[in-house]
Amino acid sequence: MIIKIILPDGRQLDYDTESRESLWQCLRRHDVLISGDCDGRGRCGQCRGTVSTQGQSPKERLLCRYYPTQSVAVTNFKLETQHTILTEGTLPHFEYRPAITKRILTAGEAQQASKQLGLSMDEQTHQWTGVYDQGEIFSIEPGDTTAWQYGLAVDIGTTTVVVTLVNLLTGEQLATKSQLNQQGQYGSDVLTRITHVMDSGLSGLDNLQTAVINTIKGLIQALRIQTGVNSQYIYQTVIAGNPVMLHLLLGINPEPLGRSPYQLVVKSSQIFQVHPEWDWSINSRARIITLPMISAYVGADVVCGAYVAELDQQDQAIVIDIGTNGEMILASNQHLLSCSTAAGPAFEGMNITSGMKASSGAIEEVRLTPEGAVLSVISNTEPIGLCGSGVLAALREGLRYQLINERGRIIDPQSLAPDDDRLQYIEVDATGKRRIRLAEGVYLSQQDIRQVQLAKGAIMAGIEQLLVEAQTTAEAIQHVYIAGQFGAHIDESSLIETGILPKAFKNKLHYLGNTSHSGAYMALMSLDVRQDLEALSQRIEPLELSLMDDYQRRFVRHTLFEKRG
């Protein structure tokens, strides 16, 4: 039976009651992008809305768990907001030597190349240009087109995708576009997306591959419109990302990455001609290159981070990508060791009561004072939630102000004197659970603190395990490089004072920005960099933390905070 879904703006959508589709799925299919980080599993609570049917009182429901049987009006739901995406990263000096080159052909060379490539030649054209990849011709073009040579540098993140159009002759980054990864509708983290494939089979894999292909497709189109570059002259695309993102782009089932023994299906760089069905606005013979990976959860993005930090030329240094997967690489005593920790999405404001992505209205910094909370809000608007840096800042202040004890518990307000100014911050909700009030409708809950404790425990245990395996100490580390979307926005004090990083790392932090994008750009502009990245990935030894005897014990210990007062 077909019923109607009535939206707040009066629009009506058709819904088939026999489709077995939740209201959340139906709305997202019609581009009503309701928030939801758990792939419609009823866990994150972000898709709450009010539903009203004829003859019944309005009710608040999880829309991912609501299957209407009669026409319904839906209101009071939260839409995804525009996300502030980090597109830039540190670029060390390197020599330009792109794989793509062009030169004018003689008549004989043009005829030979056309036969070799199976291309027809217009006899009226008297000048031809050959297009080469590492000295091997792969296309010919009428006239002199040597002035037009372009490529794309792509960073596929779990949350965001960044694409830059590059002039291969000069290295100029002509324009950059970014947006949220369309795979987000299937879950906010890599494990949820792997689970989507496990649950849905080949259709799930196709969903996720199509989502990321279409994300990149839209960004390429936007770049071409902005710059006016002819798609015929875009010859190469270099892509960096974590292992799950790259496997999904390649259409490879990621299940082996999600279950023991956690193995990559492909590890080295993959080079292939763009598939016509991807419908990207680039040359039909263009080469696509994915950069090399290390292990199931340490990917090309982290290899790029190590390369940008020039980690292989250092001793006693570490690169940490603080995000959902918490990847890190340690350089010590001529060895490079890597691991990945299941930090979860709390650092990106996900699975947090008042959590949101880094967008307008998100609190990004907090200072608690006797007179009240001093807030820094993106776009200087009224606060509506907490992004990742705001979550950590709120936690840091809760610890400093002794609202939170070493076990992560919010203190009992009844234990405080009536004139204690901390009382203004502690509230008890209708269920009797304590929370820290930061602004009207914006809180740090007990469950939020627990989410950060789990992330903190995972990252600190990973760092400690690397230090132990390398037979070094936190005090011996000279440089700490922070890479990734989240790390570039977080204050050092939040990382150190909450115990996410060791105290010995204080004043040693260097923020590198989006090194995944930097690495993709460098590999696009230099064959030498591509070769260096491949060689570097072979040198890095992965550690599987789940197989380490002491990891669980370290993890539990590091979920605790430092005792104060």
| Residue 88 is assigned to a structural domain of this protein | no
CA distance 294 to 321: 15
Contact 193, 254 (CB under 8 A): yes
Range of the domain at 380: 347-447
Residue 348's nearest CA partner among 318, 325, 376, 329 is: 325
On whether both 258 and 127 belong to a single domain, the answer is no
CATH number of the domain within which 18 lies: 3.10.20.30
The pLDDT score that the predictor gives to residue 510 is: 93
| Residue 468 is assigned to a structural domain of this protein | no
The pLDDT score that the predictor gives to residue 369 is: 95
| Residue 109 is assigned to a structural domain of this protein | yes
Q: Which two tokens stand for residue 436?
A: 């820290």
On whether both 228 and 132 belong to a single domain, the answer is no
| Residue 442 is assigned to a structural domain of this protein | yes
| Residue 14 is assigned to a structural domain of this protein | yes
| Residue 32 is assigned to a structural domain of this protein | yes
Query: Among 58, 75, 92, which residue terminates a domain?
Result: 75
Number of domains in the chain: 4
Any idea which residue has 């959340």 for tokens?
Answer: 24
On whether both 244 and 130 belong to a single domain, the answer is no
| Residue 522 is assigned to a structural domain of this protein | no
The pLDDT score that the predictor gives to residue 37 is: 59
The tens digit of pLDDT for each residue in 86-129 reads 456 688 899 999 999 999 999 899 999 999 999 888 777 789 99
Contact 325, 297 (CB under 8 A): yes
On whether both 182 and 105 belong to a single domain, the answer is no
Query: Among 245, 264, 290, which residue terminates a domain?
Result: 290
Low-confidence spans in the chain with pLDDT less than 70: 35-41, 43-45, 79-89, 485-489, 565
CA distance 519 to 541: 20
On whether both 160 and 279 belong to a single domain, the answer is yes
Contact 306, 318 (CB under 8 A): no
On whether both 193 and 106 belong to a single domain, the answer is no
On whether both 108 and 44 belong to a single domain, the answer is no
Q: Which two tokens stand for residue 429?
A: 């909700």
On whether both 14 and 112 belong to a single domain, the answer is no
The pLDDT score that the predictor gives to residue 84 is: 47
Distances (CA, A) of 389 to 252, 361, 377, 456: 34, 13, 11, 14
The pLDDT score that the predictor gives to residue 158 is: 85
CA distance 324 to 516: 15
Distances (CA, A) of 393 to 11, 342, 361, 400, 434: 40, 21, 16, 10, 19
CA distance 495 to 505: 10
On whether both 353 and 416 belong to a single domain, the answer is yes
On whether both 128 and 215 belong to a single domain, the answer is no
On whether both 269 and 157 belong to a single domain, the answer is yes
The pLDDT score that the predictor gives to residue 87 is: 53
Query: Among 430, 447, 464, which residue terminates a domain?
Result: 447
On whether both 246 and 282 belong to a single domain, the answer is yes
| Residue 518 is assigned to a structural domain of this protein | no
CATH number of the domain within which 252 lies: 3.30.420.480
